[in-house]
Every structure is written in C-alpha cells, then in structure tokens.
C-alpha cells in the first residue's frame, strides 16, 4: 500500500481563498479589515520564518498585520506593556506572541496578558475553558488544522478510534478535546471520535497506536512512529517539527509508514501550512466578534 497524501499546502491555499472572500465582503460593507499584531522576541530563525509566513498570509487574504520585533533581552514588563496597548487598539483584532520566548519572560504571564477576545492562538485560560466546555470562542490553530485536513479529505472520524500521541497544551490536549467532542452548531470542529491520549510514558506505545483508525503524532521526536506501530489503512497525521540534517524539517513519523497507512499527512506540507491558515480564520472571527 502507498498512502494517499493529505496535502496541507493545497488545502491551506483553498481555505485562504475562502477567507479572502469573507474579508473582501466585510471591507465592501464598510467594515475595518481584520488586523493581526504579531510579536516576535529575539532572533530565532525558525520563529522569524513562521512570523514572515503569518504576515504574508495576512497580506494574501487582505488583512492588516503589524510586526513588533523586540530584542532578545526585552524585559517581561516591557512586553506586557506592549500587550496592554495592543489589547486596547481598535485596529488590532488578533494578537499573537510567537513562541518560544527567551528565558527571562514567563510564557504563562504572556498567555494571561493577551486579551482573551484577541487571543487568536486560543492559549488564554478563558479560551481553553470555553473549548473544554464545548463552546470555543477560538479553536486553537494546529488542532483545527488537523481536523480540517482530515474532514476535507473525507477521512471518517465519528465513532472511530483516534490515538493522539502527545499531550502538549498547543496540540495534544486541545486536539484530544476536539476529537472526543460532539459536533454541534457551537462547536462544528467536534469529531465524535473515541479518543486515547498516549505519550512517552505510555507502556507499549506501539500496541496503543495500532488500535488507531486515525493516528496523530505530536511529540517532537523524529521518526518515533514506525510502520509496525500503524494499523494497515489507518490515516496518520504528522505534527512533529524536528530539526533534521542539512537544516531540513523532519516529522515524528518515519516516512516508511507510507507503506502501511491508507493516508498520510507529511512534514513538510501537511499540518504546518494549515496552522497559519487557521490563524487567519481566527483573526477573521475575532474581527467578526469585536466589530460585528
Ligand atoms: N504563538 C505561537 N507560537 C508557535 C506556534 C503557534 O501556533 N503559535 N506553533 C509553532 C510554530 N508555528 C507557528 O507559529 C508553525 C510551525 C510550522 C509551520 C509550517 O508551515 N511548517 C512547514 C515547514 C516550514 C519549514 O520548512 O521550515 C510545513 O510543515 O510544511 C507553520 C507554523 C511554535 N510556535
């Protein structure tokens, strides 16, 4: 078997056209274009590239974006003061602080300081709570990208066994919530699946993974998921972004898994591009919620 490729690059592009149409309709109706403020601290090359792509995405769909690039030694209080200003700026609908942060700045303090109505990453505890309760204000970008990638490729989820390997706040936990939740009008990203969350301390990880009709790997360990861990015909989504040889990005899934899986979302070209498109979708939603 050679797995069907779940092409995130192409789907992200299709969804951007849909978002651009919604933005154009808003501006034609005399509304302010959605605007995203992006805060980048320091000179991490990968972070700078992600931020560039986020701004490029904004331009592509007709949204405004502002980059606040702060030096690596920026103090936490300086960053919090900037966030205060952005929280009250009516042109700014979404605020994003690129992670990871330098060590003098507490991630938790920053996550709490982004106004929950502008928190397009959906990291603020208020938004985490709303998601957990099944009434998300914003759906976190990477998990939402995974759900769209599977749905738009007709991978069945309702009633299926989904195994999420990884328990991070950004991917594993929120994705497990979406996968287990009932699909409702308030929560169309709910998937009605039966969900197992596994991680590096799970005994016999291979046996747990082999149960999956849909297997999602989000651990951050290159090549962790090998062909013997995958049920024949399963859909496999790779969310890993690990540094490989010659500056290449490597996923958590061994490429040989393509010989066993029915469908495979690769790295690069799978969930990554979807993450940025879902950020644009959240910025549009923030503008709709804030400005009507
Ligand atoms: N504030 C946030 N910080 C971080 C997030 C986030 O969602 N919000 N996630 C990651 C980084 N990230 C977005 O910020 C991100 C990672 C990867 C990609 C992507 O498109 N990857 C491409 C490959 C790119 C390459 O070759 O280098 C792919 O997978 O095809 C987009 C966004 C941590 N920080």
Which member of 54, 118, 173, 231 is catalytic?
54
Characterize 42-57 residue by residue with b for buried, 16 or more Cβ atoms within 10 angstroms of its Cβ, and e for exposed. Answer: bebeebeebbeebbeb
Which member of 55, 118, 119, 121 is catalytic?
121
Query: What is d(CA 200, CA 192) in angstroms, rounded to the nearest whole number?
Result: 25
pTM of the model as a whole: 0.97
Ligand 1: atom nearest CA of 100 is 34
DSSP assignment of 116-166 equals: GGGBTT--SHHHHHHHHHT--SS--HHHHHHHHHHHTTT---TT-EEEEE-
Query: What is d(CA 88, CA 113) in angstroms, rounded to the nearest whole number?
Result: 12
CATH topology match: 32-115 vs 140-272: yes
Q: What is the pLDDT of residues 98-112, one digit of tens each?
A: 999 999 999 999 999
Query: What is d(CA 89, CA 245) in angstroms, rounded to the nearest whole number?
Result: 43
What's the mean pLDDT in 37-46?
Answer: 96
Judge whether 121 counts as a catalytic residue: yes
What's the mean pLDDT in 59-79?
Answer: 98
Asked whether residue 265 is marked as a ligand-binding residue, the answer is: no
Q: What is the pLDDT of residues 116-140, one digit of tens each?
A: 999 999 999 999 999 999 999 999 9
Number of neighbouring beta carbons within 10 Å of residue 108: 10
Q: Which CATH architecture has domain 32-115?
A: 3-Layer(aba) Sandwich (3.40)
The CATH number given to 140-272 is 3.40.50.720
Query: What is d(CA 229, CA 244) in angstroms, rounded to the nearest whole number?
Result: 22
For the chain, domain boundaries: 32-115, 140-272
Q: How far is the CA of 56 from the centre of ligand 1 (A)?
A: 14
């Amino acid at each position: 078997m050679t797995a069907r490729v779940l092409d995130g690059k192409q789907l992200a592009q299709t969804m951007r056209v849909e978002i651009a149409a919604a933005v154009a309709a808003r501006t034609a109706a005399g509304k302010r274009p959605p605007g995203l403020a992006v805060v980048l601290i320091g000179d991490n090359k990968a972070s700078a590239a992600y931020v560039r792509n986020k701004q490029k995405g904004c331009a592509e769909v007709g949204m405004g974006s502002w980059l606040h690039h702060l030096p690596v030694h920026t103090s936490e209080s300086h960053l919090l003061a900037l966030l205060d200003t952005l929280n009250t700026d009516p042109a700014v609908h979404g605020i994003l602080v690129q992670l990871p942060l330098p060590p003098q700045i507490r991630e938790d303090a920053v996550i709490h300081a982004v106004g929950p109505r502008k928190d397009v990453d959906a990291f603020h505890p208020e938004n985490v709570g709303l998601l957990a309760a099944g009434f998300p204000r914003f759906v976190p970008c990477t998990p939402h990208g995974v759900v769209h990638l599977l749905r738009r490729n007709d991978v069945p989820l309702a009633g299926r066994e989904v195994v999420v390997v990884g328990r991070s706040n950004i991917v594993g936990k929120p994705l497990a919530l979406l996968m287990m939740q009932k699909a409702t009008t308030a929560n169309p990203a709910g998937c009605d699946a039966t969900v197992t969350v596994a991680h590096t301390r799970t005994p016999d990880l291979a046996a747990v993974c082999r149960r999956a009709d849909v297997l999602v790997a989000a651990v951050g360990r290159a090549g962790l998921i090998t062909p013997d861990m995958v049920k024949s015909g399963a859909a496999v989504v790779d969310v890993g972004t690990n540094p490989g040889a010659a500056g290449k990005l490597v996923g958590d899934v061994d490429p040989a898994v393509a010989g066993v899986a029915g469908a495979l979302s690769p790295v690069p070209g799978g969930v990554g591009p979807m993450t940025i498109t879902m950020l644009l979708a959240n910025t549009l939603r923030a503008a709709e919620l804030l400005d009507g």
